[in-house]
Amino acid sequence: MPRLDEITYSRQVCIDAVRDYYKFLIQVHLPEDCIDEPPEGGWPHITPENTPLGKTDEVVALLRHMPYLRYDHGAQFVEGAPLTTLVDWHYRLQVSMRTPRGEGEIDEGLRLVTEGLLFLEAPSSIPAHVMGLATGGRDCERFLLDTHLGIIYWLDCPSQVAGHAPWEAYPEGVLDSAWDYAETEEEALWRDCPAWSVPDFFEMLKDQFRKVNIFPTGTGEVRDVWSLKAEKVDKIPETFREHGWPDLEKYRKQECLDAIQVVYWR
């Protein structure tokens, strides 16, 4: 497991890791044409002036150059983790721009849906160089990317993924304890959760899909096996294997998703 001094932040590494994960999700369950790529030079409307999040210029630059999963690609949902949509900042900031705000005024609603209750309970504990990657309802996962440390935190990470001690996080979770490097106790409280380097984080999510610990339901939604009724715990993975999973060369995507809809929703 790496230590923080072995990890560095790179904007391009983040962009490449996100794009690679989107392509993986397309192989698993999303439509072929759902990736929205930025134009050369980045999304023109994502600027410090149009990003009312109280974030650093580097966070804005990262958001400006990232690809996103579109909301308008025709699927009912575009989830990339259980109950969780990866934020389409291109779309979200366009919507945010329609609301008049004073100079420096924060879009508290947007911070809330991407950073969760942390923003309401302890907004000052979330540094300006940390951004949210996920959005959804009350039960969605919370992924926070630290552009200084080059790591992603999974708040409230399931114990089945995190293990019961920091060194059990899989795969390649960061070994350092947040209580050793957080600047305040308030900050250490939310950082005290599993964290991975950016590329390792997305590889970990892929591995959870490969093991069918998390899986698509056939409608663009993603769920986990830990919340399934007992009779479906074996049936869901069995159905995927029957359709060639996890070998992506053999995986019959649409046939599998059609079958999973029947198994999951009945």
| Span 102-152, pLDDT tens digits | 888 999 889 888 988 777 777 778 999 999 999 887 778 899 999 999 999
Please give the pLDDT value at position 167: 47
pLDDT tops 90 at residue 160: no
pLDDT tops 50 at residue 71: yes
C-alpha distance from residue 176 to each of 118, 125, 161, 188, 244 (Å): 22, 19, 17, 12, 38
Query: How does DSSP assign 184-246, residue by residue?
Result: SHHHHHHH-S-EEEHHHHHHHHHHHHHTTSEEE-SSS-EEEGGGS-HHHHTHHHHHHHHTTTT
Which letter does DSSP use for residue 168 in this model? G
| Span 172-184, pLDDT tens digits | 788 899 999 999 9
Residue identified by tokens 């630290």 is 146
Residue 73's pLDDT band (cuts 50, 70, 90): low
The pLDDT mean for the chain works out to 90
Amino acid at the residue 97: M
- What is the pTM assigned to this prediction? 0.93
The larger pLDDT score, comparing residue 96 to residue 163, is at 96
Task: Please state whether the peptide bond connecting residue 246 to the residue before it is cis, i.e. omega within 30 degrees of 0.
Answer: yes
Residue identified by tokens 């210029």 is 57
pLDDT mean over 8-32: 97
The C-alpha atoms of residue 114 and residue 127 are separated, in whole angstroms, by 14
Residue 14's pLDDT band (cuts 50, 70, 90): very high
pLDDT tops 50 at residue 248: yes
Whether residue 45 contacts residue 94, with contact meaning beta carbons closer than 8 Å, is answered with yes
Task: Tell me which residue of 103, 150, 110, 114 sits closest to 129, measured CA to CA.
Answer: 150
Report residue 62 as tokens.
Answer: 């990262």
Query: How does DSSP assign 115-141, residue by residue?
Result: HTHHHHH-GGGS-TTEEE-EEESTT--
Task: Tell me which residue of 112, 72, 114 sits closest to 89, measured CA to CA.
Answer: 114
Strand partners, 85: 79, 135
pLDDT mean over 64-81: 81
Residue spans of beta strands (DSSP E) within 29-149: 35-36, 68-69, 79-81, 84-86, 130-132, 134-136, 142-146
Q: Kindly report the length of the chain.
A: 266
pLDDT tops 80 at residue 165: no
Q: Where are the domains of the chain?
A: 4-210, 228-265
